[in-house]
Structure 1
C-alpha cells in the first residue's frame, strides 16, 4: 500500500484545505486590529499551550519518521526533523520560562533565554520546512531504497534534534540581549524586527512549498497549511507580544494548530491504512479458505474446520451430519461440452448446494473435483436426509443439459450422522458418508443414501 501522504490530492481535499487556509487568514484579519486589546489573564494558558505544542509536534515527528522508514522518502524524514526540532525547542522554552517551574526558569536560564527559544522555534521550523521542500525534487516521488538508510535517518531527524539542544545551551549561556521589546510601542516594527524576520521566513517557506509541490499531493496541501498557521502565529506576535491580549491568545492557538493540522492528517492516514490492511487481510483470509472456481469453502478449510465441529458436537452431546455429494457422469459432461462449460456447471451446482445450507453453522466445501461436502452441526439423520434431498432437487431444477440418459445434470448424495450413543471419529464420519454416496451411485445415481456410523 502506497503512502496516502504522497498520493495525489483529490478535488475535495483541495477544497477543504483551501477553506482551512481562508479561515486562518480571516482569523488574522479579524484579530489584527484588536491584537493589543487586553483580555482576562488565564495563567495556565501558556504552559498548557506549550505542552500541547510539544505533544503534537512529538507525535507528528514520530509518525513522519515512521513513514520515512517505510517509504524512504527524504522529504518525510526532513519534515519529521522539523517537528522534532519544534518539540525540543518548545519544551526547552517552557522549562526556561520564568515563573512556570521556578521563579527564574530551570537550567540557570537568563532573563531572555525563553524569549530566544521562542525565536529559535519560530525561525527554525520554516527553515527546516524549506529544506524538506528542496529535498523533494532530488529523489523520485515513488518509494526508494536510500543508501546508508540509518545515516539518512540521523541526518534528517537527529541533526535537527541536536541543533535544538545546542540552541538551548546557547540561549542559557551566551548572555544574549533581548530579542524584541515586550511592551506596546508606537512603532511596532522597529521594536520587533526579529519577529518581522520570522514572518518573512514563513512567507518564503509558503512560496517554496507552493513552487516545489504545486499542491499536487496531500502532503503538499497540509504542509502549506501548517506553515500558513505558523505565519499567522508570528504575525499576531508581531502585532502584540504582551501577555493576555487578543493577539497573544490567538497567536498561541495558532502555534498549537501548526503541528496539530498535520497530526490530524497523519492520524487520518493511519486510520485509512489500517482499514485497507483489514480489508486486505479479510480478502486474503477469504481467498485462502474459498475455492477459486465455485467460491464455496475449499478442502483445506474443510480439513481444518470439520474436526472442530466434530469435537464441539461431541462435547455438547449434539448430532453432527455430513453429506457427501458427487456430480453424476461429470466426465461425460466435460468431454461433450469442454472444461469451460464444466467449470460453469460446477459453479452453478455449488451455488445450489449453498442455498440448502441456510443455518449459520452449516457450510459447503468443495471436497475435490466434482465432489462437495455439506457439514450440518446439530442436525439429526432424518433432517440431514431431507436437506440432501433438497440439494438433489435444487440441482435438478437448474436444468443443465447433459449427454446422459437422464438428459440433465444430477447429483448423488450420501448422509452420515454421528449420534451421542454412537460415537465416531471425524475420518470415520467421512468414510461413512462416502460409503453411503457410493451406495447411491451403485443404486442408479440421482438419489440419496444414508448411514449412521457404528462404534
Structure 2
C-alpha cells in the first residue's frame, strides 16, 4: 500500500528521467552544431509542409494546454495554469500564422503579405518565451482557479488578435523583413532576431533556476533548449525552405511534444498508482484485519453470487457456521491478545481444509466463522467440518476452562441445498445457525447438520394434490 501511495504522491524527478533529459539535450545540441554550417543550404519546397506542420502544432499544443489547465485546477496551482497559457498562446497564434504563410493554406497569403508570416513568427517565439519566463518566476503558493484559466484564455486570444493586426495592417510601420526579397532581416534590423533569441535564452535560464525538482520543470527546460535551437537555425538559415528552416520546424514541434509526452507519462503513472492503491483498498475492504480471512461484507456478497450460480446450474451450495467454544472464558483466562492469536490460529486451520478456488472462509463476527462451499452437498460439507475439528485437535491449543479436553474446540453447524423456488440465502444461513445451536447444546466440539426441510421450503399444497 505504501508503495502505491508513493506513486500517487511523489512528484519528484527520477534519476532515469534526468539521464534521459541529458541525452536528449545532448542530441539536440549536437544536431544543431552539425546543422548550423549547412543551415543556409537551399532545399526544394515541399507542398503542404507548412499546413501539415501548422495543424500538428495546433493539435499538440491545444492538448498540452488543456492538460496543464486541468492540472492547475485540480492541484490548485497557478504555475501550471501559466504554463498552459504559454502553450495555448502557441495554439492560437498558429491560426493567423498559417493563414499568412504563402502556401500554408493557399498559394498566396490569406491575410497580410509574405512579411506578415515572419512578424507573426517573431511574435510567436517572443510571446512564448515571455510566457515561459512568467511561468518560471511564478510561485507554487498561488492558488489556481477557474477564473484564472478564463482570464488566460481571453487575454491570449486578445493579444494574438492585436499581434495579427500589427503584422498585417501595421506592416507599413514595421521594419523591412526581407533583404534581397528572400533572406530574413539585415544588419539594420539585427535587433529583432537578437530580441527573439534573447527572450527564449532568458526563458531557458529562468526555467533552469527554478527550485522545484519536478518532471514538468525538467521537460520544459528540454523544450526551451529546442526552442532556442529553433530560433537560431531559422534565423541563421536566413530563408524559407533552407535546411535550417526545415530543421527548425522539427525542433519547434519537439518543443511542445516533449512536454506533452511527459504529461501523458505522468498521467499514466498516476493512473497506475491509483489503480494499484484501489486494488489494495478493495482487498482491505473485503478482508478481516485480524485473521486475514474475508470479512462479513465480503461473505454477504460472495454468498449472493454463489447462490445465484448454484440456482442457475442446479447444484448444491453448502454453508458451515462455526463458533469457538467458551471463547469468553478463554479471553478471561489468557487475555485478549492471546484470544486474538487463538482466532488467527483457527483461521489458519480453516484455510487448510478448504482447497478449491471457489471455497470462501470468512470471519462472521467475534469468535464466529463461516465457510461457503459451492457445488457441495451436506455430506461433503460435513466431511470438511470434521476435518477441521481433527486438525484443530491436533494443533492442541490450550484452553484450561474448556473441560474435559482442556484445549480449544469448535461447534459447527452445516446446511446445504440446491436453490429452488421459495429458497433463500437467509434460510440457508438460518438453518446452519440452528444446526450450530444444536451442536453447542449437545455438548460442543461436534458437527451437526440441519435437516433439509429447514433449508428447502415445502412446495405449495396445490402442487402436491
TM-score w.r.t. length of structure 1: 0.90
Asked if the contact 2:8–2:274 (Cα under 8 Å) also holds between the matched residues in 1, the reply is no
**CA 1:378/1:211 → structure 2, altered by over 3 Å: closer, same or farther?**
same
1:175 aligns with 2:179: no
Q: Does 1:424 align with 2:427?
A: no
Partner of 1:303: 300
1:200 to 198, 201, 206: 198
Task: State how 1:249-264 maps to structure 2 within 5 Å.
Answer: 249-264=246-261
Write the deviation string for residues 373-394 of structure 1: whole angstroms up to 9, x where unpaired: 1111222222212222233333
CA distance in 2, matches of 1:304, 1:32: 69
Aligned to 1:449: 448
Query: Aligned in 2, Cα 1:134/1:315: closer, same or farther, shift over 3 Å?
Result: same
Which residue, 112, 133, 139 being the options, matches 1:130?
133
Quote the Cα distance in structure 2 between the aligned partners of 1:218 and 1:250: 26
Per-residue CA deviation, residues 72-130 of structure 1 (Å, 9 max, x unaligned), is: 21111100000000111123211222223223233x33332222221111111111000
Check conservation: 1:199, 1:235, Cα contact below 8 A: yes
For residues 52-451 of structure 1, the aligned pairs below 5 Å read: 52-106=56-110, 108-136=111-139, 139-140=140-141, 145=143, 149-176=145-172, 177=174, 178-181=176-179, 183=182, 193-213=191-211, 216-403=213-400, 404-405=402-403, 406-419=405-418, 424-451=423-450
Change beyond 3 A, Cα 1:398–1:14: farther
- Compared CA separation, residues 101 and 46, structure 1 to 2 (3 A): closer
Question: In 1, Cα distance between the equivalents of 2:57 and 2:383?
Answer: 69
Q: CA deviation at 1:410?
A: 2.4
Structure 1, unaligned runs of 5 or more: none
Displacement, 1:200? 1.3
- 1:395 and 1:229, CA in 2 relative to 1: closer, same or farther beyond 3 A? farther
Kindly indicate whether the alpha-carbon contact (under 8 Å) linking 1:422 and 1:453 is maintained by their aligned counterparts in 2. Answer: no
Preserved CA contact (<8 Å) 1:6 1:218: no
Q: CA deviation at 1:145?
A: 4.7
Equivalent residue of 2:310, what SS? helix
Give the whole-Å Cα distance in 1 for the aligned partners of 2:13 and 2:303: 48
Q: Structure 2 length normalisation: TM-score?
A: 0.88
CA distance, structure 2, for counterparts of residue 216 and residue 410 of structure 1? 60
CA gap of 1:431–1:165, structure 2 versus 1, over 3 A, is same
Note the C-alpha offset of 1:428: 1.0
For structure 2, the 5+ residue unaligned runs are: 458-465
Offset of 1:179 from its aligned partner?
3.4
Report how many aligned residue pairs link the two structures.
Answer: 445
Change beyond 3 A, Cα 1:399–1:5: closer
Taking structure 1 as reference, are residues 21 and 331 closer, same or farther at Cα in structure 2, changes over 3 Å only? same
Q: Work out whether residues 411 and 440 of structure 2, in 8 Å CA contact, stay in contact via their aligned partners in 1.
A: yes
Could you tell me whether the CA contact under 8 Å between 1:60 and 1:263 is conserved in 2?
A: yes
Corresponding residue number in structure 2 for 1:23: 27
CA drift of 1:417 comes to 0.6
Structure 1 distance, partners of 2:320, 2:9, is 52
Tell me whether 1:33 sits opposite 2:29 in the alignment.
no
Matched-pair contact (CA < 8 Å) for 1:82–1:129: yes
